[in-house]
Amino acid sequence: AQRVTQPEKLLSVFKGAPVELKCNYSYSGSPELFWYVQYSRQRLQLLLRHISRESIKGFTADLNKGETSFHLKKPFAQEEDSAMYYCALGGYGGATNKLIFGTGTLLAVQP
């Protein structure tokens, strides 16, 4: 079955510290992975997707098919990065158009 696991409900770091939000997935075919972010009182929005291999707001994520992971990383956290982060699995096989979300990780960046 398709599944996304985010093991940490809360990650608290100090400003300037490195951040790694963990995401593991389960899917037998070729996955499409995304990170969505929800800032306080704002809508869920796309942060980045593995296929574009881009860095957004200093965040990067590399798809590791061997470890079935798509961890989100940033070398130096900023206070404005505090938000809820959701890893999502989608577009698998071209036969579906739904996203499977993880439970989310709340990132709290302390001053």
Cα separations in angstroms, 1 against 5, 26, 32, 93:
12, 7, 15, 13
Binding status of residue 1 toward other proteins by CB under 8 A: no
For position 10 contacting other proteins by CB under 8 A, the verdict is no
Burial of 35 (0-12, 13-18, 19+ CB in 10 A): buried
Tokens 């929800």 belong to which residue?
Answer: 38
Q: What is the CA radius of gyration of the chain?
A: 14
Question: Which residue in the set 12, 55, 78, 103 belongs to the binding site for other proteins (CB under 8 A)?
Answer: 103
66: alpha, beta or left? (left if phi > 0; alpha if psi -120 to 50) = alpha
Q: Which of 11, 13, 44, 56 binds other proteins (CB under 8 A)?
A: 44
In the window 65-84, what residues touch other proteins (CB under 8 A)? none
- Minimum CB–partner distance for residue 28 and other proteins (Å): 15
Nearer to other proteins, 49 or 74 (CB): 49
Q: Given the rule CB under 8 A, which residues bind other proteins? A: 32, 34, 42-46, 49, 51-52, 86, 90-104
